[in-house]
Structure 1
Amino acid sequence: MPDPAAPLDLLLLPAWLVPVEPAGVVLKEHALGIRNGVIAYIGPRADALRLNATEVRELPGMLISPGLINAHGHAAMTLFRGLADDLPLMNWLENHIWPAEAKWVDEAFVSDGTDLAIAEQLKGGITCFSDMYFFPKIACDRVHNSGIRAQITVPVLDFPIPGARDADESLHIGVELFNDLAHHPRIKIALGPHAPYTVGDDNLEKIRVIADELDAMIHMHVHETAFEVHQAVEQTGERPLARLNRLGLLGPRFQAVHMTQINDDDMALLVESNSSVIHCPESNLKLASGFCPVERLWQAGVNVAIGTDGAASNNDLDLLGETRTAALLAKAVAGSATALDAHRALRMATLNGARAMGIEAETGSLELGKAADIVAFDLSGLAQQPIYDPVSQLIYATGRDCVSHVWVAGKQLLHDKRLTRMDEHALTETAKAWGRRIAGQPELN
């Protein structure tokens, strides 16, 4: 155990401290201390000022909370942002995105696109994200270098994809990465069967066996559209979620992304299996995919986390904005103004995401012994006044431009809105160059 008398590395003195666990708590005149990358002190400000700390940081007008957790996305697709907008899902995928990926996606694309996504997410208060995209080893390298935390999900499909000739090669890559990074402090490897309509039973059974052997999470697009469910029932007589249950994939390690189509049988399967649902409201709205019944799921005891999806279908990686949309949409879908209140919305964007990824013992809330994954939101601006409930103000009246500071495992990655490890100008210029290339425009001299 660390010596409680040892000096703190950093003492934060915010206006409000929102730990998320216990639920609904807002601490005023409190401080948070960090030692060796871990939260070592939470207590009254007056007591904290008597402690020995290497650095003391006053954060007037700021709310500190756990770092936001983006539970679903395709990081490198930032380079396809706005490429094929205002189209339904299957047209968007089959006629635009998949052909663009076949033409452009290579290791350099994934490296540059992932860097762009990490930078955008850090500037928006995200300290951990889940990524499902090609060349996952490259994504791991970028995460490692950046200092952010991530679940890297190895994509598996029945047909060739960039970086893998078939599902067996994808699974081989996944197992190798899982073993290589088993002790990495910030990277967790998961298996990512793309969707029920792109992965057959044989490969799903292989995934289940490997996931069981490794105790690995499974991350999958499920029931994203009514068409997907209708087509499955028409062809097989079975809803996709029921099929996944029959094959043994559902369970506490299963992350069902989207779930816009949920009947009573689906709900029962989710509850009984203790599977998590990853809600992506803005992508679902933009692609007209449907509405995930978040309040019903929550009241039934299902763990619901939140994701942005990729920037090609959202078009940003703004989890704070996503959470506001989720809270508003949940009320409309449930027909109740009390559905998904601000405190629960913040929990969905933090601790629920950690729980879905199986890392709730490490992150997702501000508790002693957990990693110091922290975001400081500046609520001192004109648009946040007056403040009656700072969490309500954060969810309903604050944008990601109010993110001032971000720490991951105690390392400051955003300081006064500036990235500490990444060159924002260089990232912007690289993204512009990719955009000109993909659009067929001449390179600038």
Structure 2
Amino acid sequence: MGAQVLTAPLILTAPGQWVEGGGVFVCGGRIEAVLASAKDAQAVAGEHAAELLEFPDTVLTPGLVNAHTHLELSPLAGRLGQGLAFRAWVDELLAARGRGSPEEQARALEQAAQRMLETGTTLVGDIAAGNSAEEALAESGPARVCYREVLDGGEERRAAAALTTVAAPLAQTPDRYEGLSPHAPYSTSSRLLAGARDLARERNLPLAIHWAETEEEERWMMRGRGPLKGLVKSSPRCSPLDHLDAAGLLGPRLALIHGNHPRSGDHERLAAAGTSLVHCPGSHRWFDRRPFDIDAYLAAGVNLALGTDSLASNADLSLVREMAILREEQPHLAPECVWNLATVGGARALCLAGQAGVLEPGARADICAWPRAGLAPEAWLDSVTRGQRLPRALWLGGRRRHSALDTPA
């Protein structure tokens, strides 16, 4: 993979940071430099014998970061009902999981991964309970933080066995990073959470946990009542966040997923700990949930990211669509804020700040080329975050992985 210099009339290196008429110098899968002018781009290309790729009427940006999904559930697309109560949805999920031939499941995974690339996602936080995604996506799809899931149904006697499934480290590659996901506060005992904490510290792993997704979770955690009774065995009789905090899990290496029903003071506790929160607008709409109080998290200073969740609770894995839904549901949010959630915020949530979601020296060479259509920077960003544009080319670690162009102009 030789050195390249990509040039375009507009380059968005990070939220609010534009370069006009410059370029991006890529070598060895990483960004070596962002160049301020076409003259600089030509000089660097000549000096390093790099291929010069010129893209007129184009905007170059970092790839998008989908901070939460379950790619292994992609074969369930269209098989579960929308708007179901959470327990009813779980029952349908458990009944439908595993249906279809291995070939059908592998094809669904490959299609899901390709859809992410086509819509600009170059990095994904993927929670996996099994190995199906590993086998199908070994050579395709975006870069992944693979969060291996563990749960014991709240039964401490099962904790040790659950942790043995993740005892051996996951082999890492340039496009695959290891993570750990204790499923949720209601489905994990204190013993399992403590074991996951120790393992994460030992291997310096990022953590992802579903949290405060439903009112049913709160009811079960606090009082041992509601629809989750029978699905899990034991209620800790404390709040979901207290359960995680008591295990020493709050901190900057933890991303909490959903956060639809926080208790008073939870926002400030997350901000103080440096814990991230991932919101999934499409899945939120799928379940017809009450409006997400994004302003409370922003006001507290919580790092926010966007995710799609899975095709078992969403119609698409496009983060462009997630930005558009977020703007529809939260019309007061500025395009720059939404873009931040889809790039910088996501990279931070996955513990890859500075390595993804930005175009800067040392970062992964994950780059999208979007049609500009002659728009000024602010108007272009407004159109993209409203879902009106898709990238026409994408590079993952410096390798072109998707293109609607035969050759660069």
Q: Residues of 2 paired with 1:150 and 1:415: CA distance?
A: 20
**Could you tell me which of 412, 417, 421 is aligned with 2:400?**
412
Count of residue correspondences? 388
> How far apart are residue 170 of structure 1 and its match?
4.5
> Which residue in 1 is equivalent to 2:296?
296
Q: Residues of 2 paired with 1:171 and 1:107: CA distance?
A: 27
Q: Letter of the aligned partner of 2:401 in structure 1? A: L
Q: Residues of 2 paired with 1:14 and 1:113: CA distance?
A: 35
For structure 2, list consecutive stretches of 5 or more residues without a partner in the other structure: 225-235
Aligned CA distance change for structure 1 residues 169 and 56 (closer, same or farther; 3 Å): farther
Aligned CA distance change for structure 1 residues 112 and 192 (closer, same or farther; 3 Å): farther
Q: Secondary structure at the match of 1:177?
A: coil
> Which residue in 2 is equivalent to 1:436?
none
Q: Does 1:349 pair with 2:342?
A: yes
Q: Secondary structure at the match of 2:360?
A: coil
Q: Letter of the aligned partner of 2:192 in structure 1? A: N
1:284-323 → structure 2 map (5 Å cutoff): 284-323=284-323
> Which residue in 1 is equivalent to 2:204?
215
For structure 1, list consecutive stretches of 5 or more residues without a partner in the other structure: 1-6, 161-165, 332-336, 419-445
Q: Letter of the aligned partner of 1:241 in structure 2? A: L
Aligned CA distance change for structure 1 residues 271 and 218 (closer, same or farther; 3 Å): same
Q: Secondary structure at the match of 2:314?
A: coil
> How far apart are residue 342 of structure 1 and its match?
0.8
1:188-337 → structure 2 map (5 Å cutoff): 188-235=177-224, 236-331=236-331, 337=332
**Could you tell me which of 148, 165, 172 is aligned with 1:173?**
165
Show CA shifts across 1:306-338 (max 9, x none): 10000111110010110122233234xxxxx2x
Tell whether the 8 Å contact from 2:114 to 2:141 is kept in structure 1 after alignment: no
Q: Secondary structure at the match of 2:317?
A: coil
Tell whether the 8 Å contact from 2:186 to 2:220 is kept in structure 1 after alignment: no
Show CA shifts across 1:170-210 (max 9, x none): 533323133x32xx222111111222222222222221221
> Which residue in 2 is equivalent to 1:70?
66
Q: Residues of 2 paired with 1:174 and 1:326: CA distance?
A: 35
Q: Residues of 1 paired with 2:262 and 2:153: CA distance?
A: 28
Q: Secondary structure at the match of 2:330?
A: helix
Aligned CA distance change for structure 1 residues 317 and 167 (closer, same or farther; 3 Å): farther
Q: Letter of the aligned partner of 1:415 in structure 2? A: S
Q: Secondary structure at the match of 1:389?
A: helix
Q: Residues of 2 paired with 1:306 and 1:324: CA distance?
A: 11
Q: Residues of 1 paired with 2:56 and 2:299: CA distance?
A: 37
Q: Residues of 2 paired with 1:241 and 1:159: CA distance?
A: 17
Tell whether the 8 Å contact from 1:110 to 1:139 is kept in structure 2 after alignment: no
> Which residue in 2 is equivalent to 1:439?
none
Q: Does 1:154 pair with 2:142?
A: no
Tell whether the 8 Å contact from 2:29 to 2:364 is kept in structure 1 after alignment: yes
Q: Residues of 2 paired with 1:388 and 1:258: CA distance?
A: 29
Q: Residues of 1 paired with 2:352 and 2:367: CA distance?
A: 15
Q: Secondary structure at the match of 1:49?
A: helix
Aligned CA distance change for structure 1 residues 122 and 294 (closer, same or farther; 3 Å): same
Aligned CA distance change for structure 1 residues 119 and 147 (closer, same or farther; 3 Å): closer
Between structures 1 and 2, the one with greater helix share: 1
Q: TM-score, normalised by structure 1?
A: 0.80
Tell whether the 8 Å contact from 1:123 to 1:417 is kept in structure 2 after alignment: no
Q: Does 1:361 pair with 2:354?
A: yes
Q: Secondary structure at the match of 1:310?
A: coil
Measured on the aligned residues, the alpha-carbon RMSD in Å equals 2.5
Aligned CA distance change for structure 1 residues 61 and 248 (closer, same or farther; 3 Å): same
Farther off after superposition, 206-215 or 117-126: 206-215
Tell whether the 8 Å contact from 1:76 to 1:117 is kept in structure 2 after alignment: no
Q: Does 1:185 pair with 2:174?
A: yes
Q: TM-score, normalised by structure 2?
A: 0.87
Tell whether the 8 Å contact from 1:323 to 1:395 is kept in structure 2 after alignment: yes
- Over the matched positions of the two proteins, sequence identity in percent amounts to 25
Farther off after superposition, 249-258 or 286-295: 286-295
Q: Residues of 2 paired with 1:248 and 1:355: CA distance?
A: 20
Q: Letter of the aligned partner of 1:30 in structure 2? A: G
Aligned CA distance change for structure 1 residues 213 and 296 (closer, same or farther; 3 Å): same
**Could you tell me which of 43, 52, 56 is aligned with 1:56?**
52
Tell whether the 8 Å contact from 1:372 to 1:408 is kept in structure 2 after alignment: yes
Aligned CA distance change for structure 1 residues 315 and 190 (closer, same or farther; 3 Å): same
> Which residue in 1 is equivalent to 2:20?
28
> Which residue in 1 is equivalent to 2:230?
none
1:70-149 → structure 2 map (5 Å cutoff): 70-101=66-97, 103-104=98-99, 111-136=106-131, 138-146=132-140, 148-149=142-143
